[in-house]
A and B are shown apart, each in its own frame.
Chain A
Amino acid sequence: DAGVIQSPRHEVTEMGQEVTLRCKPISGHDYLFWYRQTMMRGLELLIYFNNNVPIDDSGMPEDRFSAKMPNASFSTLKIQPSEPRDSAVYFCASSFGGQNTEAFFGQGTRLTVV
């Protein structure tokens, strides 16, 4: 398996534009997590899914953020409209069996909103 795959690796967009980040988890994993990493706030859990169902989205900062998982092999994190303070590295991670097992991270998407 190629591991967790995220796209794009880098995204530069103008304030107000819609941004969509994509993630393909490791095949067979039943949990998928979206994290945001910034210097100021470290690694923050935004939302996670179990068997494609959102379990906890309490980390999603605002209504501008939304996430979906239409099937076991694909998830998106959307920001609409984007703002400069959304600039960060967004990581997707997956695991089998939940948070008490190793979470495998993707390479991350570095988002810059200008």
Chain B
Amino acid sequence: GENVEQHPSTLSVQEGDSAVIKCTYSDSASNYFPWYKQELGKRPQLIIDIRSNVGEKKDQRIAVTLNKTAKHFSLHITETQPEDSAVYFCAASMISGGYNKLIFGAGTRLAVHP
């Protein structure tokens, strides 16, 4: 069935360390993989996305990698800062009825300690 698994569910790091969040998906036809950040009490907002024609994408301190063969993708945050503390969601597009729909992972609560 349609499924996106995300690990870990919680992650605690010291400021300046790196954080890695991993997701796996079930539909081999998935071709779009966004990551959203949700701060406490706020809406999810896109921070980076990757499409299946590339294996890696970087934007300043965040990067995403995609392994289509293994059907997994990861978010990497380097030099973490307290303002990176939030819940992060991965998602994968799944084809349904000729349309793509986004299926989200369960989320990772990241805490960055000063």
Chain A residues near B (Cβ < 8 Å): 33, 35, 42-45, 48, 50, 55-56, 58, 91, 98-100, 102-103, 105-108
Beta-carbon contact of B99 and A55 below 8 Å: yes
Contact with A along B97-108 (1 / 0, CB 8 A): 101111111110
Beta-carbon contact of A42 and B107 below 8 Å: yes
Interface centre among A35, A43, A55, A107, by most chain B C-beta atoms within 10 angstroms, is A43
Beta-carbon contact of A99 and B101 below 8 Å: yes
Measured in the bound complex, the distance between the Cα atoms of B81 and A8 in whole Å is 33
Q: How many residues of B contact A (CB 8 A)?
A: 23
Contacts of B97 in A (CB 8 A): 55-56
Contact of A105 among B43, B49, B51, B107 (CB under 8 A): B43
Beta-carbon contact of B51 and A100 below 8 Å: yes
Measured in the bound complex, the distance between the Cα atoms of B31 and A55 in whole Å is 20
Secondary structure class of chain B's binding surface, majority of residues: strand
Contacts of A45 in B (CB 8 A): 101-104
Beta-carbon contact of A100 and B32 below 8 Å: yes
Contact of A43 among B96, B99, B104 (CB under 8 A): B104
- Considering only residues 6-31 of chain B, those with a C-beta below 8 Å from chain A are 31
Measured in the bound complex, the distance between the Cα atoms of B27 and A13 in whole Å is 39
Chain B residues near A (Cβ < 8 Å): 31-32, 34, 42-46, 49, 51, 89, 93, 96-97, 99-107
Beta-carbon contact of B43 and A91 below 8 Å: yes
Contact of B107 among A43, A55, A106 (CB under 8 A): A43
Q: List 22 A-B contacts (CB under 8 A).
A: A35-B104, A42-B89, A42-B107, A43-B89, A45-B102, A56-B96, A56-B101, A91-B43, A98-B100, A99-B100, A99-B101, A99-B102, A100-B32, A100-B93, A100-B100, A102-B46, A102-B49, A103-B34, A103-B46, A105-B43, A107-B42, A107-B43
Q: Add 20 more A-B contacts to A91-B44, A99-B100 (CB < 8 A).
A: A42-B105, A42-B106, A42-B107, A43-B44, A45-B104, A48-B99, A55-B97, A55-B99, A56-B96, A56-B99, A58-B96, A99-B101, A99-B102, A100-B31, A100-B100, A102-B46, A103-B34, A105-B43, A105-B44, A105-B45
